[in-house]
Amino acid sequence: MREVTATILENKKIADEVYSLTFATEEEIPVRAGQFCMIGVSGHALRRPIAVCKAESERITVCYRLKGEGTRKLASDYKPGEKLSVLLPLGNGFTLSDGQKKIALVGGGVGIFPLISAIREFSQNKELYAYMGFRNRAAVCMESELQRTSRFVVATDDGSAGYHGTAVQAFLDEFDTVKPDAVLACGPTPMLRALKEATKDKNIPVYVSLEERMGCGIGACLVCVCGKKDGSRARVCKDGPVFEASEVEL
């Protein structure tokens, strides 16, 4: 993990309430799919955790949805050329074995962003099937990245684009045809809970990336702990954010 002062290259709106922020670090920092960074926003003591979407040598891109004060300030006040304080890379990221060839990616809301990094890392040697859920047509983004997969399904809550329903429903509709070896998922907890329940008898590993409030992002403050099936507690920032769904309480 490094603390860097990065230079902002771009910070632009890419969909309704969604921004793409690209910054340059002074030297290349290796980042694995599913890892995240903590971005400092002036006037806020706590950094904001955001998944890394793309890491191309010194250029790192994250995408964020406007939520509260921190993300709104990031969108309005941080311009190209300005400095940004970032901790990265953080967390464990997604790991797949050689035998896991056909991979389903199931994402909802801001959960699509860590899955973009999985597409970038795994598209060379895995067959990827992406099921991505958005609120509506105006929220759909990152299509050129998602189209790097063998199959890409957009699902919208209101049916204004693609499949009318959730990403989990879209995935389950095609499960028997695709027969994936593993699933990588990220999204709101109710979505991950529904996915865990629906796949519990399917005998495939489901790796979920969890979203918890964070203080430090480096395993020191215990703000982000989640419960594990064996009764122990895990820190989402340090032991996760990726866990096998069967191991954690959702």
Alpha carbon distance 109, 93 (integer Å): 19
Which residues, including other chains, have CB under 8 Å from residue 76's CB and lie 6 or more apart? none
Alpha carbon distance 71, 42 (integer Å): 11
Least distance between ligand FAD and beta carbon 178 (Å): 26
- Which parts of 157-196 interact with ligand FAD (CB under 6 A)? none
Nearer to ligand FES, 87 or 105 (CB): 87
Instruction: Kindly tell me which residue out of 6, 23, 48, 156 binds ligand FAD, with binding defined by CB under 6 A.
Output: 48
Alpha carbon distance 200, 245 (integer Å): 9
Least distance between ligand FAD and beta carbon 22 (Å): 13
Instruction: Kindly tell me which residue out of 30, 213, 230, 231 binds ligand FAD, with binding defined by CB under 6 A.
Output: 213
Alpha carbon distance 13, 87 (integer Å): 23
Instruction: Kindly tell me which residue out of 50, 87, 206, 245 binds ligand FAD, with binding defined by CB under 6 A.
Output: 50
Structure tokens at 19: 């921004």
Instruction: Kindly tell me which residue out of 94, 235, 241, 243 binds ligand FES, with binding defined by CB under 6 A.
Output: 235
Instruction: Kindly tell me which residue out of 130, 237, 245, 248 binds ligand FES, with binding defined by CB under 6 A.
Output: 237
Could you give the string, one character per residue 207-226, with x where binding to ligand FES holds by CB under 6 A and - elsewhere?
-------xxxx-xxxxxx--
User: Which residue has the CB atom at the shortest distance from ligand FAD?
Assistant: 68
Q: Which residues contribute to the site for ligand FES (CB under 6 A)?
A: 214-217, 219-224, 235, 237
Q: Which residues contribute to the site for ligand FAD (CB under 6 A)?
A: 36, 46, 48-51, 62-65, 67-71, 110, 113, 211-214, 241
